[in-house]
């Protein structure tokens, strides 16, 4: 009996075909530092220089020796990995270590409580769920207050101590859904209750910048701007309103356009009046300080300030998604600290697991934290002993020698960027822009949809040019790069902190070559083997 089938091509075969079409369907057999190894025709290892860096999960590189040794030791020691609902001492130590780093970088003493998860999107969903839990508890408290005011008004009117003001009826005639004039207090109350019930049953809204990427799960994909990812699943979750990153003033306008109120009753000087109470329409503003999948777009200090002040004005929490930009990648632990953006929530994932574990976390500011959330949210795998200890080890490496690693990231990033700027200066007709911070850089190609090389033009028009360029660089130069998820004309560079000058030179030669091919519109070379 052969219980295990040998059918090949069952794991996402369509994606495999798409990768194969541009020569990216390579199997790697070993990895270390910034190098992946494939087997050549003679079954010998052939190195490929990796600038994809696990989509940002490898700030320490592939199989960092200290992380690997530590992980091996943990497994050998028979560490309890899955001991759910016991004292999570390792996760607690990790939360404490993360707090120390945040305190140092943000210069603020407020504590952040940690909810652990397994992937980036899951941490975003935990953040969003917590924000909605908070909003719903605030709404429940507001509804209770309104109910108490209604009861009080009713008993005062019944006792002859108050009468509904004419203005109250007038307000309701304007605002009331029925259109019939309101005659007495009970009708007034019925109107208020109907009005409020309608608003209370509407789903919340989120705010996010255009270009945002926060994951592809049911909730998080609605915060991801890319329409191809988002719109087929619109019916499944609450919606976001997207604001352009270069228009900070659009934030307030968007908030004002969605403003809604609940109605309440107030009794002053024996008169019952209808008053408005602000309805918290927005559950959270979610943003990346440096957009990764959106094309390596930096959030400006001015935009960050506008987010903070607009959100403070309506009591809406700011969720700073540092899943790709955090863990030292920008040259600081949090990229948001470079632009003075202060979050109420922070999400971390990717490099938190040191390239070995899958783990993520949402950190929530104490003054916003709802402890009851812990009893309604959990995951079998979150907060496991192995991932928590590996993540602690990662933090230890990042923070060693007074944060030497952050300085190295910044310095390596400068060298890489200088090289990219030089190539761009020589090929301004091919390379449009170089952006980013630290080791999170993007190179945007000029639009090639008018190229006389048919294949280049076709790739450009179908949005695949970035992947075709990636295929070329891999085939010809053994350099691995990918475009960002939602901006296919921008190649993303996220190598590890171990990036060497030789590796930068290898990339330079590869980029200069592909730029020449595109400039010369040399189709034969571009698509040739």
Of the candidates 215, 219, 289, 355, which one interacts with ligand PMP according to CB under 6 A?
215
35-43, 83-91, 209-217, 442-450 -> range binding ligand PMP (CB under 6 A): 209-217
User: Residue 482 pairs with which residues in a beta bridge?
Assistant: 492
Distance CA 479, CA 507 (A): 7
Distance CA 123, CA 120 (A): 5
Q: Least distance to ligand PMP from the beta carbon of 377, Å?
A: 17
Closest CB to ligand PMP belongs to which residue? 120
Q: Least distance to ligand PMP from the beta carbon of 120, Å?
A: 2
Q: Taking CB under 6 A as the criterion, which residues in 44-63 touch ligand PMP?
A: 55
Distance CA 66, CA 400 (A): 13
Spatial CA neighbour of 416 closest among 297, 291, 511, 516: 511
Of the candidates 50, 321, 494, 503, which one interacts with ligand PMP according to CB under 6 A?
321
Distance between alpha carbon 50 and the CA centroid of its chain, in Å? 23
Distance CA 223, CA 215 (A): 8
Q: Least distance to ligand PMP from the beta carbon of 292, Å?
A: 4
Comparing CB distances to ligand PMP, the nearer of 344 and 503 is: 344
Distance CA 305, CA 311 (A): 10
Which sign, positive or negative, has the C-alpha torsion 146, 150, 155, 161? Answer: positive
Give the E-state strand segments of 98-246 in sequence order.
112-117, 163-164, 205-209, 239-243
Q: Least distance to ligand PMP from the beta carbon of 289, Å?
A: 9
Burial class (CB in 10 A: 0-12, 13-18, 19+), 44: exposed
Q: Taking CB under 6 A as the criterion, which residues in 322-381 touch ligand PMP?
A: 323-324, 349
Comparing CB distances to ligand PMP, the nearer of 11 and 375 is: 11
Tell me the number of residues near ligand PMP by CB under 6 A.
15
Comparing CB distances to ligand PMP, the nearer of 293 and 444 is: 293
Q: Taking CB under 6 A as the criterion, which residues in 73-132 touch ligand PMP?
A: 119-121, 124
Comparing CB distances to ligand PMP, the nearer of 162 and 440 is: 440
* Three-class DSSP category at 438: coil
Residue partners of 209: CB distance under 8 A and separation at least 6: 225, 242, 243, 244, 245, 287, 291, 299, 303
Site string for ligand PMP, 164-203 (x = CB under 6 A): ----------------------------------------
Comparing CB distances to ligand PMP, the nearer of 149 and 350 is: 350
Comparing CB distances to ligand PMP, the nearer of 115 and 323 is: 323
Q: Taking CB under 6 A as the criterion, which residues in 251-290 touch ligand PMP?
A: 288
Binding site for ligand PMP (CB under 6 A): 55, 119-121, 124, 213-215, 288, 292-293, 321, 323-324, 349
């Amino acid at each position: 009996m052969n219980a295990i089938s040998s059918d090949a091509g069952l794991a996402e075969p369509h994606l495999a075909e798409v990768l194969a079409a541009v020569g990216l369907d390579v199997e790697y057999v070993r990895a270390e530092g910034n190098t992946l190894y494939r087997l050549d025709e003679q079954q010998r290892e052939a190195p490929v220089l990796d600038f994809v860096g696990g989509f940002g999960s490898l700030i320490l590189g592939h199989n960092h020796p200290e992380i690997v040794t530590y992980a091996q030791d943990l497994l050998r020691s028979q560490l309890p990995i899955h001991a759910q609902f016991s004292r999570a001492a390792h996760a607690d130590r990790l939360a404490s270590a993360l707090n120390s780093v945040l305190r140092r970088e943000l210069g603020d003493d407020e504590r952040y409580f940690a909810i652990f998860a397994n992937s980036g999107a899951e941490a975003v969903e935990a953040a969003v769920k917590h924000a909605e839990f908070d909003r719903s508890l605030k709404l429940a408290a507001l509804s209770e207050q309104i109910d108490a005011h209604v009861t009080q008004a009713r008993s005062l009117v019944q006792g002859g101590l108050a009468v509904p003001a004419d203005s109250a009826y007038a307000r309701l005639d304007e605002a009331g859904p029925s259109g019939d004039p309101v005659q007495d207090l009970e009708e007034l109350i019925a109107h208020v209750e109907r009005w409020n019930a309608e608003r209370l049953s509407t789903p919340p809204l989120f705010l996010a910048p255009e270009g945002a990427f926060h994951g592809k799960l049911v909730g998080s994909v609605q915060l991801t701007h890319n329409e191809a990812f988002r719109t087929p699943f619109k019916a499944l979750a609450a919606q976001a309103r997207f604001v352009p990153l270069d228009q900070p003033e659009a934030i307030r306008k968007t908030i004002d356009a969605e403003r809604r109120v609940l109605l309440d009753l107030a009794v002053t000087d024996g008169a019952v009046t209808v008053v408005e109470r602000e309805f918290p329409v927005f559950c959270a503003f979610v943003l990346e300080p440096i957009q990764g999948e959106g094309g390596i777009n930096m959030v400006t200090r001015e935009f960050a300030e506008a987010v903070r002040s607009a959100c403070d004005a309506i009591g809406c929490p700011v969720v700073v998604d540092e899943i790709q930009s955090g863990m030292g990648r920008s040259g600081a632990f949090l990229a948001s600290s470079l632009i003075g953006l202060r979050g109420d929530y922070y999400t971390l994932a990717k490099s938190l697991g040191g390239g070995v574990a899958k783990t993520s976390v949402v950190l929530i500011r104490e003054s916003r934290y709802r402890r009851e959330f812990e009893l309604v949210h959990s995951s079998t795998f979150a907060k496991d002993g192995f991932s928590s200890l590996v993540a602690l080890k990662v933090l230890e490496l990042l923070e060693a020698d007074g944060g030497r690693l952050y300085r190295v990231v910044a310095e390596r990033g400068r060298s890489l960027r200088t090289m990219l700027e030089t190539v761009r200066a020589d090929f301004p007709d091919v390379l449009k822009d170089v952006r980013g911070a630290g080791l999170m850089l993007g190179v945007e190609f000029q639009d090639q949809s008018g190229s006389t090389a048919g294949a280049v033009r076709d790739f450009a028009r179908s949005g695949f040019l970035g992947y075709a360029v990636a295929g070329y660089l891999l085939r010809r130069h053994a350099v691995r790069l990918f475009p960002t998820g939602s901006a296919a004309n921008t190649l993303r560079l996220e190598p590890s902190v171990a990036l060497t000058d030789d590796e930068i030179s290898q990339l330079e030669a590869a980029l200069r070559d592909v730029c020449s091919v595109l400039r010369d519109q040399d189709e034969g070379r571009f698509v040739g083997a």
